[in-house]
Amino acid sequence: MNTETILYEVADGVAKITLNRPDKLNSFTVQMHGELAEAIKAARTDESVRCLLITGAGRGFCAGQDLGDRAVSPGGEAPDLAESLEKRYNPLIRSIADLEMPVICAVNGVAAGAGANLAFACDIVLAARSASFIQAFCKIGLVPDSGGTWSLPRLVGPARAAALMLTGEKVPADKAADWGMIWKAVDDEALAEEAEALAKHLATQPTAGLALIKRALKETWTNTLDQQLNLERDLQSLAGRTRDYQEGVDAFMNKRQPAFVGK
Ligand code: T3D
């Protein structure tokens, strides 16, 4: 793939996307959105890919919208931010939520604005101890977007989400892990290796089943218990028809290692 603002590589069943505008802390431009959308589509349509890993180059993960990517000045014409969300940020978050494979985010440094909320859209988030999360929107008069007003209250509860979104206070990685905002914080030097090992491991697992788990977890937020029980029944029915389910049971019964294919 020919890209300037991201790196895309596939190995061992894992597609790895590295946001790659380190001098601007990997903030989003229209071009980066386009390349990111292409890369996620490539991962989705490549049968060899069974896990996606997203990280950033340099000292930051992603500082949200590149504030210099369009002209905004006092008294000037207001940009169409609804269009920006409708055309770029919302499709990005939906494409991650709907991706039928686990998505791991390795937050290597500061994650601000839409950069933080991109991380929260992923299924498993690991962060370097030196990384931090900032709902920076309020400091420039904007509303948290990229699904942040949906994900953050669900991750940390309404009281913490409100304070973080109204103050823009920085949350260091260890505190983010303590609060359940992310899965865990790891030493800076260990982040890449640990995230890649996890991604490679998941890519060898029954990924069709993992995609169904992802669906159940997504729908639980709006379902009643009855609806969720019905959904579990339907998803289990699908899972029970996969080759990986047969393989998993057979491997267990015969005390051997399973060889899952993701179908
Ligand atoms: O607009 C729409 O389409 C709607 C959607 C909006 C989504 C959003 O994400 S809105 C929120 C946008 N993001 C921000 O407001 C965050 C702005 N950045 C910061 O507050 C700070 O940079 C950080 C707290 C993230 C990191 O601070 P620090 O001190 O570690 O680094 P720094 O020195 O501020 O930044 C390093 C460089 O990156 C610097 O460039 P320079 O001076 O060395 O040439 C800085 O200007 C640049 N940079 C950082 N963030 C952005 C950025 N350049 C453009 N846009 C950025 N968001």
**Where among 167, 183, 203 does a domain terminate?**
203
| Widest distance between CA atoms in the chain | 73
Nearest CA to ligand 1 atom 31: 25
For the chain, how many structural domains are there in total? 2
Nearest CA to ligand 1 atom 13: 64
Ligand 1 pocket, residue 198 CB under 6 Å: no
pLDDT in tens, 101-129: 999 999 999 999 999 999 999 999 999 99
Q: In what order do the strands lie in the sheet with 132-134?
A: 60-62, 110-112, 132-134, 171-172
Ligand 1 pocket, residue 113 CB under 6 Å: yes
Check pLDDT > 90 for residue 12. Answer: yes
Q: Which two tokens stand for residue 156?
A: 């940390």
What is the whole-number distance in angstroms between the Cα of residue 125 and the centre of ligand 1?
21
Q: CATH code at 64? A: 3.90.226.10
Residue 93 exposure: Cα atoms within 13 Å on the Cβ side: 22
* Residue 39 included in any domain: yes
**Where among 180, 203, 226 does a domain terminate?**
203
CA–CA separation, 108 vs 161, rounded Å? Answer: 22
* Residue 157 included in any domain: yes
Please tell me the predicted confidence (pLDDT) of residue 39: 98
Please tell me the predicted confidence (pLDDT) of residue 181: 98
* Start-to-end C-alpha separation, the chain: 26
Q: Are residues 30 and 127 in the same domain?
A: yes
* pLDDT band, very low/low/confident/very high, at 17 (cuts 50, 70, 90): very high
Q: Are residues 100 and 160 in the same domain?
A: yes
Please tell me the predicted confidence (pLDDT) of residue 127: 99
* pLDDT band, very low/low/confident/very high, at 159 (cuts 50, 70, 90): very high
CA–CA separation, 56 vs 118, rounded Å? Answer: 12
* pLDDT band, very low/low/confident/very high, at 261 (cuts 50, 70, 90): very high
Residue located via tokens 């499709």: 91
* Residue 187 included in any domain: yes
Q: Are residues 214 and 170 in the same domain?
A: no
What is the whole-number distance in angstroms between the Cα of residue 179 and the centre of ligand 1?
25
Ligand 1 pocket, residue 68 CB under 6 Å: yes
* pLDDT band, very low/low/confident/very high, at 251 (cuts 50, 70, 90): very high
| pTM for the model | 0.97
**Where among 163, 178, 203 does a domain terminate?**
203
Ligand 1 pocket, residue 151 CB under 6 Å: no
Q: CATH code at 214? A: 1.10.12
CA–CA separation, 159 vs 164, rounded Å? Answer: 9
Q: Are residues 197 and 159 in the same domain?
A: yes
Q: Are residues 152 and 212 in the same domain?
A: no
Q: Are residues 226 and 155 in the same domain?
A: no
Check pLDDT > 90 for residue 164. Answer: yes
Check pLDDT > 90 for residue 33. Answer: yes
Check pLDDT > 90 for residue 35. Answer: yes
Ligand 1 pocket, residue 136 CB under 6 Å: yes
CA–CA separation, 101 vs 82, rounded Å? Answer: 29
Residues in the chain: 263
CA–CA separation, 204 vs 50, rounded Å? Answer: 8
* Residue 263 included in any domain: no
Calculate mean pLDDT across residues 154-162. 98
Q: Are residues 145 and 216 in the same domain?
A: no
Q: Are residues 66 and 108 in the same domain?
A: yes
What is the whole-number distance in angstroms between the Cα of residue 161 and the centre of ligand 1?
21
Q: Cβ neighbours of residue 136 under 8 Å, at least 6 residues apart?
A: 63, 64, 112, 113, 116, 168
CA–CA separation, 48 vs 53, rounded Å? Answer: 14
Nearest CA to ligand 1 atom 47: 24
CA–CA separation, 186 vs 214, rounded Å? Answer: 24
Domain housing 214: 207-253
* Residue 260 included in any domain: no
Q: Are residues 234 and 168 in the same domain?
A: no
Q: Which two tokens stand for residue 169?
A: 């206070």
pLDDT in tens, 187-213: 999 999 999 999 999 999 999 999 999
pLDDT in tens, 79-95: 999 999 999 999 999 99
Check pLDDT > 90 for residue 147. Answer: yes
Q: Are residues 249 and 168 in the same domain?
A: no
Check pLDDT > 90 for residue 71. Answer: no
Check pLDDT > 90 for residue 1. Answer: no
Ligand 1 pocket, residue 84 CB under 6 Å: yes
Where does 6-109 show beta strands of DSSP type E? 6-11, 14-19, 51-56, 60-62, 103-107
* Residue 259 included in any domain: no
Q: Are residues 194 and 224 in the same domain?
A: no
Choice from 5, 20, 24, 130 to test ligand 1 binding pocket (greatest atom count within 8 A of CB): 24
Nearest CA to ligand 1 atom 27: 110
* Residue 94 included in any domain: yes
Note the helical H segments in the chain. 30-45, 81-84, 90-97, 114-121, 148-156, 158-167, 173-178, 191-203, 207-219, 225-239, 243-253
Q: Which two tokens stand for residue 181?
A: 């905002």
